[in-house]
Every structure is written in structure tokens, then in C-alpha cells.
Amino acid sequence: YEHRHRSQSQSYQGNNVAGKVQDDVNNNPEVQEYIIDRGTKTTYLKGKFLGKGGFARCYEMTDLTTNVVYAGKIIPKSRLAKPHQKEKIAREVDLHSKLDHSNVVKFHHYFEDDNNVYIVLENCTRKSLVHVLKHRRTLTEPEVRYYMVHLVYGCRYVHSQKVIHRDLKLGNMLLNEEMQVKIGDLGLATRVEATTNRKITICGTPNYIAPEVLNKEGHGYEADFWAIGCIMYALLVGRPPFETATLKDTYARISANRYTLPSYLSSSARSLIIQLLNPDPSLRPTLDATLQHPFFSSGLLPKSLPGSCCTHQPKFP
Ligand code: ADP
């Protein structure tokens, strides 16, 4: 009956909806149009498909009691068959649910039903800096100051909670409607234990992997500083600093600290990139020191950015 009812309503609403429903049926037959959290007796309406990650497919999810639209990560339990996969999700939920900062994606709720696990998050309507860079290729230095300050604020908060993100990258820098930066995806994050303040092991491959992590020398907060340097470079230059055709060559470049700085970069931008990409983690500037760097005072630092910056270069006065 459910199926007949759905196909009937499709024909009223036209091809788009039919296409979407077909997409769901093809890719994830378990996922229903209405999702019910039996624990809190909340019904969510599943909406637009937002993107897919390692385990999850992400959809708009509207809480029908409040009409608030969230981003829901839906993870089929069939993909969590192995104990370490369950543990990975449990750790992500445990770490993320305790974080509360304007530059970190807000964790709203977690629940499960027979088929799926649901992680309900603040909806970031303007997607991520990957999408911005796709349209823009490179950004202006005032914009990069803006994004970097927000990224550093968010990261400083995460570190203050004794958590290392370990996978900071453009795709994990989400943007809400107001163009505020929200750090997301705590899937590779770890808590720094009280006894040892270095974490040795990591499961998964970070995008902007630091040399000390490659060399298995341990993984501290400084690995996030490295990734922030890679992000700054990518935003200004349009490609990551150590990018090559193969992972092997990229790792060789990271180990050799071999990257080029285009001549159009300002001297203060170069200087900050060089400091953050220091091969010796103990010599990288802390986040507070990063914010004190002349790069942030050498030119305009916008208080906000218009949404048009996602696709068009802004004209600053
Ligand atoms: P995974 O942890 O499985 O890799 P991600 O966190 O990367 O999943 O999410 C997959 C995709 O869903 C992202 O690329 C992004 O496009 C979208 N997405 C994730 N979180 C949000 C959010 N809070 N708001 C809007 N879109 C999101």
C-alpha cells in the first residue's frame, strides 16, 4: 500500500520527485520518506539529498513538530557489520555530541531504527569550501582571512575540548546560509588522553596528512595546524600544496616538504603558509600565534561575506 500511495503522489508532483524517489529506491531501499524516532516520538520528513560520505548518505531532515530543517546522516546498519565500524560511529557520536561552538557543526540528535543509524546535524545550506572553490578556482586574500579566522576559532575550541580533528580539509569546512564556517565530520577525530598527550594510531586516511603522521611519530594537535596550512594554500592557489598524480608521490613530497609558492601570493600569506607547513611539528605556530600573524592585519578582514562569494569574486572597497 505504501508503495502504491507513493507512486500516486509522484505522478501528481512531476518528474523531479519521481526521479528522487527512484534514486532512493535504487540506492537505499530501506530508507523511508518519513523517519520516526521512537525514543523522542519525533517524526522527520526526509527531503533533498545532500551528499554522500564513507558510510553515510546525507539528506535534509525536517522535524515535523518544529519544522526545523536539519542535515541527517543516514548510515545503514548493514554497513556497520564489523565491530570496529560500530565503534567508529560510536566514537564520532560521543566526541561530536559534546561539542558546542558557532564554528563547529552543531550535533543535534542521534537515534536508530531497525535499518539505520541517524545523526541529526545543523544544516549547512551552502555546502562546503570544496563547492566554493569549484566555482571560484581561487579566492581573494580578504576572503581567505575570513575563512581562516573562522576555521582557527573552531579548531581552537575543538582543541580546548582535548579533541584533535585529524581530517581538516575543504570538504569538512561547511557553510551555513549566513556564510559562517562550520567544521564538520568528526569521523577521524580522537580525544587526547590525560596520561599520554600523543596519539599514535589512526584509522582512515586524512586528506592533508602531516609528515610526522606519515612517519608514524605520533599525532598531536600540530597535525591540525599542518592541515590548516594546506587549506590556506589550497584556497589561495586553487590546488593542495603537495598534490601529485599518485598518493605515493604526494607522500614523498610531504616527507621532503617540497611545494612551490606562486609569485602572486603576498609576502605575509607566504610567510604564514611556510610556518604552518613546517616539517617539525613543534615549530608550527599555535592557533593563537596564527591569529597574531601579520597576514590577518596586512589587509581587509571582512566581518561577513555575502552568499554571492560562493560563485563570484567579491569586489572589496
Ligand atoms: P562521512 O562521515 O560518511 O564521510 P560526511 O560527513 O562527509 O559523511 O557527509 C557526506 C556529505 O553530506 C558531505 O560531503 C556534505 O555534502 C553533506 N553534509 C554533511 N554534513 C552536512 C551538514 N551538516 N549540512 C549539510 N550538508 C552536509
Residues in the chain: 317
Q: Is the ipTM of this complex over 0.95?
A: no
Q: Is the CB of 281 within 6 Å of ligand 1?
A: no
Q: Is the CB of 54 within 6 Å of ligand 1?
A: yes
How far apart CA 166 and CA 184 sit, in angstroms, is 12
The per-residue DSSP string of 176-228 comes to -TT--EEE---TT-EEPPSS-S-B----S--TT--HHHHTTS-B-THHHHHHH
Q: Is 73 annotated in some ligand binding site? A: yes
Other beta carbons within 10 angstroms of residue 308's beta carbon come to: 10
Catalytic residue among 24, 63, 167, 224: 167
Q: Is the CB of 105 within 6 Å of ligand 1?
A: yes
Per-residue pLDDT of the chain in tens (317 residues, 90 and over written 9): 334 334 333 333 444 554 555 455 445 545 569 999 999 999 999 999 999 887 899 999 999 999 999 999 999 999 888 888 888 899 999 999 999 999 999 999 999 999 999 999 999 999 999 999 999 999 999 999 999 999 999 999 999 999 999 999 999 999 999 999 999 998 888 988 765 555 556 666 778 999 988 887 777 999 999 999 999 999 999 999 999 999 999 999 999 999 999 999 999 999 999 999 999 999 999 999 999 999 999 999 999 999 999 999 998 87
Which of 52, 103, 116, when mutated, tests ligand 1's pocket best, judged by the most ligand atoms within 8 Å of its CB? 52
Cell of 127: 555546502
How far is the centre of ligand 1, averaged over its atoms, from the C-alpha of 222 (Å)? 25
- Residue 167: active-site member: yes
